[in-house]
Amino acid sequence: MVPVTTLASGHALAITTLVLHGDKPGPTVGVSATIHGDEFEGVMILRDLWRTMQRRDLAGTLCLLPVANPPALGALSRNTPVDQLDLNRNFPGTPDGWLSEQLAATISREFLAGLDYYVDLHAGGTFPWVDYCYVLNDEAFSRAFLSRLLYQPAQLYQGTAAGVTAGRGTPTCVVEIGGGYQDQAVHTQNGVRGVRNMLRHAGALPGPATARPGQVLLRTMKVMRPRQGGLLIPEGPLPPGTELDGPATLAEIVSPYTFEPLETMVTPFQRNIVVLSRNYVSRVQPGDYAFMIGDGATATAY
């Protein structure tokens, strides 16, 4: 446990890391989860990974950070509840800044600094369902997670943990898997399989990495945020990877009091690939994540 600070309650805030040293020399691979406190799948993936890893199989060191943001996990919140900041926009942090900045500084110094490879696990949160990987500075490393969908942004968000490691040339991947009202066991199983395959790619586990045929690399993606709040009623099931010719209706936002339609959300491209969706009726605030849609016209299929 690495101390961060003392909260107003008098309780100590610390981050907990799990470290497994293999019987053979090799790289140091770090995997983190729960930078956003409402994203549980990463914790479950690391739980199963930790329970099944054996020193005799591992070359190098595996470092796990299951809960990067303990206050946010306790509050079931994307943001740190003390300062309402998104931890993943405040890296590398500062030791005398906001609480989120202090937490980011501790993670940067005590966890990220010594890694040869880094995987940051995320999910859709309480309502949305997501399934894709970012391609940052090592495409083969990202493809090794075995997601069908990959996304190569023109630039990464400022202040992310991945930006710290990618900025110094460390092979880095951000994974988005699960969330919403979906079967967590399936996402956990796929996540463990993916991380293990990444460890094989890095040379930390024996054997060659598996390739997945049919992967799609997206270069343009639009986040669909409603202008109106209310009940979001999806047009139908839209699992990640679903392709839609546009324009196609994604969902209606209706008033929970009068049932009046307030807004219709429509696909933004001619060839649309669903990346994040809400497959069940849910309450939505203006500006919430509702859908993420990739532009199939800019995609590369492998």
pLDDT value of position 246: 86
Supply the CATH number for residue 285's domain: 2.40.50.100
Q: Does one domain contain both 237 and 200?
A: no
Give pLDDT tens digits for 89-103. Answer: 999 999 999 999 999
CB 216, CB 295: distance < 8 Å:
no
Determine the Cα–Cα distance for residues 235 and 230; give it in Å rounded to an integer.
16
Regarding whether 251 and 118 lie in a shared domain, the answer is no
**Consecutive sets of 10 residues in the chain, 302 residues long: mean pLDDT of each?**
96 97 98 97 97 97 98 96 98 97 98 97 95 97 98 94 97 97 91 98 98 97 98 95 95 97 98 96 96 97 92
Q: Name the residue range of residue 250's domain.
A: 219-301
Residue 235, CB half-sphere, CA atoms under 13 Å: how many?
A: 13
Last residue of a domain, one of 190, 212, 234: 212
Distance CA 105, CA 100 (A): 9
Q: 177 exposed, middle or buried (CB, 10 Å; 0-12, 13-18, 19+)?
A: buried
**Residue 231 and residue 175 in one domain:** no
- CA distances to 17, 25, 118, 249 from 106, rounded to whole Å, are 12, 27, 16, 45
Per-residue model confidence (pLDDT) at position 151: 98
Asked if 171 and 27 sit in the same domain, the reply is yes
Number of domains observed in the structure of the chain? 2
The whole model's pTM is what? 0.96
Q: What is the CATH number of the domain that holds 102?
A: 3.40.630.10
Q: Are 234 and 251 in contact (CB under 8 A)?
A: yes
Cis peptide bond N-terminal to 81, omega within 30: no
First to last CA, the chain: 43
Position 77 scores a pLDDT of: 96
Matching residue, tokens 């190098």: 60
| Same domain, residue pair 280 and 171 | no
Q: What is the percent of the chain where pLDDT is above 90?
A: 96
Per-residue pLDDT tens over the stretch 236-252: 899 999 999 989 999 99
Based on the fold, state whether residues 8 and 44 are members of the same structural domain. Answer: yes
Q: Do residue 32 and residue 172 come from a single domain?
A: yes
- Does one domain contain both 167 and 226? no
Q: Give yes or no: residues 230 and 201 share one domain.
A: no
Shared domain check, 6 and 128:
yes
For residue 210, how many C-alpha atoms fall within 13 Å in the half-sphere facing its CB? 10
* Residues 243, 170 within the same domain: no
